Each structure stands twice: as C-alpha cells, then as structure tokens.
C-alpha cells in the first residue's frame, strides 16, 4: 500500500467516526461529546429535522369563484349633476404652469349648469326572477341604472328602493332563471376566518380578492347603525355592493366601505352583515319602505374611566348621553347618565349593538330595558317609536317628484314671504333637469309661470302640465326679479 493510499484510508476512517458521533444522542437535551466535536455542517441536518413544523396549505378559492362568479354583476349608473358657481379648490394644472399658484389660491372657475355624472359599482343576484342587491350609495340619485352580467347581457334596472341608514339598495331587472348566490351568516363568522370578495374594482369586472376577517361589530365614525365586518380583503372603488363570501361559498356581507388616506385600498375594508341586508331587502320588496324602532336617545361607548365613575365593575353596556324631549325614552323615564345593560334580556356588550337591536323592534311594541342608575339596576319598560322614514326612491319617482321642470319646491315661511314684499311664491330647494339647464339655482323664489302667479306646488304642477315646450318663469333672486325661459323639451 503506498503512502497516498494509506492517507486516504485514515481520512475515510476519521470521517466515518465523526458521522457516527454526530447522530448519536447523549443524555438529556445537551449535545453529546461526539456531537460537540463534530463539524457544524454535520450537526445542522439533525437539528433541522427536530424543529421543522408541517406547513399548512393556503385555501384554494378557485371553486368558489367558478361556482358563484356568474351571479356577481357590474352596475353602471348615469345621471346629471350641477356645477357650483363657486370656484373649484382643486385645479388640475401642472405645477410649472404660470397660473398654477393663482388658481391654487383662488380656484378654477366652473361653468354653471348640468354636467354628466357616471359611476360604477358591483352587486349580486339574490333571486332567479331578477332581484339584485347593491349599496345605496352606488345608485342613489342615478337617472339610469344598468346591470351587466358576466355573459355580457345588459339590463336596465328599476330601483325598488334604497335605504341610506343601512346603505342597501334593491334593484329589479326583467329576466328569469338567473344564477343566484347562497346566503350565509355573519353572526357565525369568526375573526381570523378566510373570506373572499368578488366585484369590479376600477371597472375590472369579476375580480376576486381574499383575506381574513379582522374584526366584527365595527362602528364607524359617521355610522352607528351598522355593525360592520372588518376585513383585510383588497377592496377598491368599484367593489362597493359586491358580495363577501365565506369558505363555504356563502354570502356573509356586502362590501361597502374602505378606510383610506389615498382613496385606494390600505388594508381596512368594511362589509354590511348579510342579516342586516336581508332584513332591509324583505321590507323593501314587501312594503316599499323600511320601518325601524326608535327610542330617541344618544348613546356613547363606555371606557374604564367612565365605568369607574358610575360604579360599574366592567365596561359593558351603552351610556345614555342625552334624551330627546317627548321621545319614547323620555316618556319611559330614561335619563342622561343611565347605562343600558340589556334589551329584552339580551346583554349589551358594546354601545354599537343597541341601535340595531332597537331598529329590529316594530314601532308600537314594548321593550324591557335593564338600566344601571346611581349604583343599582332597575327595569324600565318603553314603548318603541318609529324612526323617520328614509327617502326610498327610484330614479323614476325622483323625476316625478320634481316634475317636468326638475325643481323641488316648498311654500315660503312667513319670514321668507316678507322678504318678497308679502307676495306668494315657492322656494327652490333642489334643481335638476330643464330648470338646471336654464340656470335656476337653489334659493331662488318662483313667483309666476307664463305670467300666472303661483301660490302652491300643486298649482304650479298643473300649470306645467298644460304648458307646451317652453315656459317663462318669473323668479326673485336676492333683491332682483327676472324672467327665465325654460325649455321643457
């Protein structure tokens, strides 16, 4: 055996001894002497096999999209809006433009009159006969609403009603045997669950995005009625009105709002729970309006400091901050400083829960409140009143209310009548259509039509119905009177 062969044999023997020691287990958790003397590269595989955890696969949502995508629709709206006579405060000029600084400070003048308004949103088909759900803010004020299906069919939709407090709108299209979605339960949804949204962000139809439920029963600053589902699903302008699915492919909410400093998605999206949506839909389809119970109180959330001040052991309940005069709550004896702990036996964990519970009670029914007052609980029975009806109107009914002129008018108050020298007239509150094109403004007073003095809305409507294509309105604007020709078309 040559010297080189001997060296190779010795090295091989040493490596074999090292490997055997590296995989031997000593007593306890400490490394054995053999392991301690082995090269780190040889120890690493043994440690890796000890600490590695099995990977959990992400959910595959392709089946949910394939099964439900056909029932998600794109909604486009069109109408007319008014440019303000005031200057715009956001000029779209290049900062290098010589006039940029002037317009930045004083604004860009806008031309008075009507301008076309267009918008897009999402929705979904609830029933085979053409009932479609979306957000109220998507279709509110629209003159025309079009619903486009994934198979490229388009339908002109009738707005059966909108409910602004819940931000839900119910549409009807003339079609049969349409694909529909299955409703689930937001109440049974847990924080941390995977959810999926389908909609038309920025007009990109049938786009899917996914995330998890971040929180439940969220109250937003300008809305204390809806207990929103908060998610981190990517929702952007155009997603409004689209469905939010759980992993069973059931709709648990309608995507409604995002929190954003830029106008785009920033990780906070909010959906209306499907239980709220279905309650509103049923009332609109059956009665054409939504009825809700009302107590007539303002409430706020309890914190630890307030709880300590009122002698409460925890921060559960809704603190009454004010009570309206002659309201159901006032008649029942509720007072500012009361803490409502439960309603009809259901505990109030957060103040955001109370408005929805009260709203679900039919006006005229009685409710039992458990109230904390001055260190003790007491039972108070209150007869629930009715909330003021939100305006539920389709584009057709809105046009009808404003008539051919496109004016929303009311009678003058005594003070307003004195300002027009005691004459009768009608105050213009809203302007659209023909009157807007003619330059009539909110705040104008309509004194006469074609020389006939007007004293009531009914009288003016009768005069307009008999008119031909053009009329002359005598209006008073500030201290001046002028005739305005209006082309009725």
Extract the tokens encoding 247: 């992993």
CA distances from 324 to 297, 355, 362 (A): 6, 15, 20
Give the length of the chain: 489
How many Å from the N-terminal Cα to the C-terminal Cα in the chain?
A: 115
Q: Which of 76, 122, 140, 167 is catalytic?
A: 167
Write the DSSP assignment of 417-433 as a string of letters: HHHTTT---EEEEEE-H
Residue 383 near residue 328, CB atoms below 8 Å: yes
d(CA 428, CA 402): 11
List of long-range contacts for 152-159, beta carbons under 8 Å, 24+ apart = 155/130, 157/75, 157/132, 158/394, 158/396, 159/393, 159/394, 159/395
Q: Which of 78, 137, 219, 260 is catalytic?
A: 137
Extract the tokens encoding 15: 């490596």
d(CA 1, CA 353): 91
DSSP conformational letter for 476: E
Write the DSSP assignment of 281-344 as a string of letters: HHHHHHHSS---EE--EEEEE--HHHHHHTT-SS--SEEEEEE-TTSHHHHHT--TT-EEEEET
d(CA 213, CA 233): 8
Q: What is residue 398's three-state secondary structure? A: helix
Residue 353 near residue 385, CB atoms below 8 Å: no
> Of 400, 339, 399, nearest to 370 (Cα)?
339
Q: Give the H or E element holding residue 412.
A: none
CA distances from 283 to 57, 66, 170, 280, 357 (A): 43, 31, 10, 5, 16
Residue 133 near residue 241, CB atoms below 8 Å: yes
Is 397 labeled as catalytic in the residue annotation?
A: no
> Of 308, 306, 301, 305, nearest to 353 (Cα)?
301
Q: What is residue 255's three-state secondary structure? A: strand
Is 137 labeled as catalytic in the residue annotation?
A: yes
Q: Which of 240, 307, 351, 394 is catalytic?
A: 240
> Of 176, 206, 186, 208, nearest to 62 (Cα)?
208
d(CA 236, CA 263): 8
Rounded to the nearest 5 percent, the helix, strand and coil shares of the chain are: 25, 35, 40
Which positions are catalytic? Answer: 137, 167, 240
């Amino acid at each position: 055996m040559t010297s080189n062969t001997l060296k190779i044999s010795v090295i091989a023997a040493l490596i074999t001894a090292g490997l055997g020691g590296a995989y031997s287990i000593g007593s306890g958790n400490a490394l054995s002497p053999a392991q301690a003397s082995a090269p780190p590269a040889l120890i690493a595989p043994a440690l890796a096999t000890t600490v590695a955890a099995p990977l959990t696969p992400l959910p595959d949502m392709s089946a949910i999209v394939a099964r439900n995508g056909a029932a998600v629709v794109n909604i486009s709206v069109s109408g007319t809006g008014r440019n303000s006579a005031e200057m715009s405060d956001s000029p779209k000029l290049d900062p290098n433009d010589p006039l940029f600084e002037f317009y930045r400070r004083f604004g860009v003048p806008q031309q008075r009159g009507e301008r076309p308004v267009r918008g897009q949103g999402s929705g979904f088909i609830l029933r085979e006969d053409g009932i479609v759900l979306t957000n109220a803010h998507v279709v509110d004020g629209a003159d025309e609403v079009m619903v486009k299906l994934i198979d490229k069919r388009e339908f002109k939709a009738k707005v059966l009603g909108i409910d602004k407090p819940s931000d839900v709108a119910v549409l009807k299209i003339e079609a049969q045997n349409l694909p529909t979605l299955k409703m689930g339960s937001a109440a049974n949804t847990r924080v941390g669950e995977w959810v999926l949204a389908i909609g038309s962000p920025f007009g990109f139809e049938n786009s899917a995005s996914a995330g998890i439920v971040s929180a439940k029963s969220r109250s937003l600053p300008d809305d204390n009625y809806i207990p929103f589902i908060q998610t981190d699903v990517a929702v952007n302008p155009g997603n409004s009105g689209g469905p939010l699915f759980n992993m069973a492919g059931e709709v648990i909410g309608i995507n409604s709002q995002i929190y954003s400093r830029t106008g785009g998605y920033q990780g906070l999206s909010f959906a209306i729970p499907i239980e709220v949506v279905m309650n509103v839909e049923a009332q609109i389809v059956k009665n054409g309006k939504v009825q809700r119970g009302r107590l007539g109180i303002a409430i706020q959330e309890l914190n630890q400091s307030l709880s300590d001040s009122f002698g409460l052991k925890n921060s559960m309940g809704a603190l009454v901050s004010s009570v309206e005069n002659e309201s159901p709550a006032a008649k029942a004896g509720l007072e500012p400083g009361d803490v409502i702990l439960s309603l009809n036996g259901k505990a109030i964990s957060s103040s955001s829960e109370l408005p929805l519970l009260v709203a679900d009670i039919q006006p005229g029914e009685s409710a039992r409140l458990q109230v904390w007052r001055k260190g003790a609980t007491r039972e108070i029975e209150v007869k629930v009143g009715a909330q003021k009806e939100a305006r539920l109107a389709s584009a057709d009914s809105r046009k009808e209310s404003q008539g051919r002129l496109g004016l929303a008018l009311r009678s003058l108050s005594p003070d307003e009548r004195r300002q027009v020298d005691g004459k009768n007239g009608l105050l213009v509150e809203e302007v659209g259509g023909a009157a807007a094109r003619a330059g009539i403004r909110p705040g104008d007073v309509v004194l006469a039509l074609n020389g006939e003095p007007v004293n009531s809305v009914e009288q003016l409507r009768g005069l307009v119905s008999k008119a031909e294509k053009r009329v002359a309105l005598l209006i008073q604007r500030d201290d001046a009177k002028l005739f305005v020709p209006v082309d009725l078309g």
